[in-house]
Structure formats: structure tokens, C-alpha cells
Amino acid sequence: MTSDSENKAGVRRVYLDHSATTPVRAEVMGAMMPYFAGQFGNPSSIHRWGREARAAVEDARAKVASLIGAAPQEIIFTSGGTEADNLAIRGTAWHKRSKGNHLITSSVEHHAVLHTCETLEKEGFKVTYLPVDKYGMIDPEDVEKAITDETILITIMHGQNEVGTIEPVREIGQIARRHGVTFHVDAVQSAGKIPIDVSDMNIDLLTMSSHKMYGPKGVGALYVRKGVRLSPQATGGSHERGLRAGTENVPGIVGFGEACRLAKEEMPEESLRLTRLRDRLIGGILDSIPDTVLNGHPTIRLPHHVNISFKFIEGESILLNLDLMGIGASSGSACTSGSLEPSHVLLAMGLPHELAHGSVRMTLGKGNSEEDIDYVISVLPPIVSKLRDMSVFR
Ligand SMILES: *Cc1c(COP(=O)(O)O)cnc(C)c1O
């Protein structure tokens, strides 16, 4: 594993950003390879080449469906999580426009959901953005109280991508079902990590993304419960039951299917292993560095997810120093746009600015070992003391 865990200078390399993306597994790449050149057919073609490609797509559809307890016909392949979120939300809003114009979501959703809702507001829809508690948790009672005669969609995520909290989707699903409101769940972070059963959880629409679970980028899926109707957002052909026109990304879909099959098979063991590593990392940091706080729910959280705030310093400067030590993490105060506003998620949780600015997200994955965790725990304290010594905030 030299190439993965060490660079040429011999510095250990530890990738702790699996919620941003994951490497494609060798088994997944192996499954995809034949479909680039040898079996390159268009699944819509009637000849042998087309039939081979169609069979591969349908085989992958069954594997994706099986991961979430769905039927294969209920899976619509898309270009990823963002497109699936758009199809679910815009597709429901426009299809049900004559029934009502109100949507319910939360203040901690991914931008693929939030920006889509904001766009719909400009188009005349009304949106309720529910608050969360200090752990980033949504209260199902708030969902029920927000429902009106006009409500056509509830869209709530399963695993929160920035702080790792697992939202009470089963309870919200029961409420949605009782009120006859369509229920969409963004499960990009939880799929393949923790069990999902769309029937048991009363979910009508569910978003998944391949590249967050060791599959290739640019492919995802929307689960659409049998009988749930949507307005297609891409028109041009009858692909994917008329809900998503365009020639299928056959190699990508095949890879996604294989990633789902492996995730299902390995989930019990791997989620336990990740939980142990996660708790070792959280405990190691909180015990060895003063003025640190775990963000997100302490126990009802994704098995691979750690988010910690370091008082008095900027998450960004910790990241740069970690990067110099070969460690890849991310921060909640993403200043990609040049603004130093902390993330909407940490602010919605009511984190004071000094904590929101000092947040670092470390998300574990298949390639991480106990040695990786111990390495991080050994390099972090000197980085934090150095930065705090220079800090003007303390
Ligand atoms: C990554 C992510 C998305 C977007 O998925 P893409 O496949 O990258 O478009 C949507 N929702 C959540 C929660 C995510 O983490």
C-alpha cells in the first residue's frame, strides 16, 4: 500500500475526505472496463451490441435496487446526486402544481436541495425551511406542524454531509404517509453505509450517488416508488421510463451497480470497523486537545463521520497544516466563494462564530487503518498549539 499511504518523501498520506468523494474500487473498475470498448453498444439498440449493453444496465439496476429494498423498475439512473435531487424536487413540484404549491425542507440540506428549493420559490412555490437542534437534528413534530393543505413535497436528508447526524427519516416518512404528502430523501451520504429500506421508511423518492460509495463519478440514481409521478426534467427520448432522456452511461451504471453490491455485502462488518475508527479519532482528539467540541450528534451519526471544532483558530489553517503532513480533510467554513461565512449547517445548529469558524471534517473510508488514526492524533496537537499561539482570538 506504499502508493496509497506514503508519498515519495516517505510522509504518510491519509485521505480523510470520503464524504467529498471516494476512490473507485478495483472490483468496480474491473466490472466497468468491458463496457468502454468491447461491449460498447447503445442499450436502446435492437442488435446484439445493444442487447449486451441493455442486459448490463438492467443487472446494475437490480443491484442498486437491492441495496435499498426497492424493485429494479423503481430505479432511475441519473448523472449523480445533484441531478437526482433536482429531478425529485422540481419533478414533483411541477407535476403536482395543480394540487398545491408548498414544499417542506430543512435548513441543513445539501445545496443540491436548498438551491433547487430557492429556485422554485422564484417560480412561485412556497418553501418552509425547518430549523434543527444543536446536533443538527430535525424534529419530526416540526415537519407535521408545517404541513398545510397546499403541501406537495417533504424533502429531508438522511445522513447529514457536514456534521454526520442521521436524521429521523423513518418518523418523518410515517408523517408524510399519514398526510398523503410525497416524501423525498437525499441519501447520498448514508447509502451503502447504514441500512436503508424504502418501504419500511415510507420513502417515495430517494437520491443516491455512485462516487460517494467507491463507484465512478457522474452517475447516480433516483428511486421512484411505483405509482409516484414526476415531470421529467430532461426530455428527448423514452429512456429511464421517460423520466430522464439521454443515452445511458453504461460503464458508469455498471460500476455503480457493482459498488452497491459490494457495499451491501460488506456493510455489517465495514460499518462496525469504521465506527471503531471514528470513535478512536473523536476520543483521541477531544482527550488530547483542550477547547475542542464534537459537532453533530454524539451517537446518532454516520459510522465514518467526524466533525470537530477547535476554538480560537480557523478550520482553514488547520487544513493547510494537515495537508503539509499528508492528511486530507475539509472544513465547514468553506471560503471557496471568497467569503469567510461559516457553513449554513453549523450556523443553523446555532454554533457561535468562534466554533463555526474552527470546524474540521474528517470522513473515514475503506483505505483508513488504525495507524492512520493514530498518526492524525499525533500530528494534530502540535498544529493546534502552534496556530493558537499565533491566534489573535484567544
Ligand atoms: C455529494 C452530495 C450530493 C451531490 O452528489 P453528486 O453526485 O456529487 O452530484 C448531494 N447530496 C449530498 C448529501 C451529498 O453529499
**Helices and strands per DSSP (H, E), number in the chain:** 12, 13
Q: Is residue 274 part of a domain?
A: yes
Atom 5 in ligand 1: which residue has the minimum CA distance?
Answer: 81
Residue in 228, 325, 335, 377 annotated catalytic: 335
pLDDT exceeds 60 at position 7: no
Pair (64, 106) in one structural domain: yes
Query: Are 283 and 325 spatial neighbours (Cβ–Cβ below 8 Å)?
Result: no
Tell me if residue 117 is catalytic: no
User: Which of 186, 194, 210 has the most ligand 1 atoms within 8 A of CB, as the residue to mutate?
Assistant: 186
Grid cell 477547535 — which residue?
310
Q: What is the pLDDT of residue 102?
A: 98
Kindly state the average pLDDT of the residues 203-213.
98
pLDDT exceeds 50 at position 199: yes
CATH number assigned to the domain comprising residue 190: 3.40.640.10
Nearest to 231 by CA among 370, 82, 373, 94: 94
Q: Is residue 7 part of a domain?
A: no
pLDDT exceeds 50 at position 188: yes
Reported as a pLDDT band with limits 50, 70 and 90, residue 1 is very low
Pair (222, 313) in one structural domain: no
Looking at the structure of the chain, the number of domains it has is 2
Strand pairing report for 327-328 and 305-310: unpaired
Domain that holds residue 93: 26-262
Pair (305, 258) in one structural domain: no
Is the CB of residue 189 below 6 angstroms from any atom belonging to ligand 1? yes
Q: Is residue 182 part of a domain?
A: yes
pLDDT exceeds 90 at position 268: yes
Q: Which of 201, 236, 262 is the last residue of a domain?
A: 262
Q: Angle 161-166-167 (CA atoms, 0-180°, nearest 5)?
A: 105
Express each pLDDT in 234-256 by its tens digit: 999 999 999 999 999 999 999 99
More confident call, 5 vs 262: 262
Q: Which of 240, 262, 284 is the last residue of a domain?
A: 262
Q: Which of 247, 262, 277 is the last residue of a domain?
A: 262
d(CA 382, CA 388): 10
Q: Is residue 3 part of a domain?
A: no
Three-state SS at 151: strand
pLDDT exceeds 50 at position 314: yes
Is the CB of residue 61 below 6 angstroms from any atom belonging to ligand 1? no
Pair (252, 379) in one structural domain: no
Query: Are 76 and 206 spatial neighbours (Cβ–Cβ below 8 Å)?
Result: no
| pLDDT cut 90: percent of the chain above it | 91
d(CA 157, CA 169): 8
Query: Are 80 and 133 spatial neighbours (Cβ–Cβ below 8 Å)?
Result: no
Reported as a pLDDT band with limits 50, 70 and 90, residue 353 is confident
Pair (256, 373) in one structural domain: no
Is the CB of residue 212 below 6 angstroms from any atom belonging to ligand 1? yes
Q: Is residue 9 part of a domain?
A: no
Express each pLDDT in 158-186 by its tens digit: 999 999 999 999 999 999 999 999 999 99
Model pTM? 0.96
- The DSSP secondary-structure symbol of 17 reads B
Reported as a pLDDT band with limits 50, 70 and 90, residue 5 is low
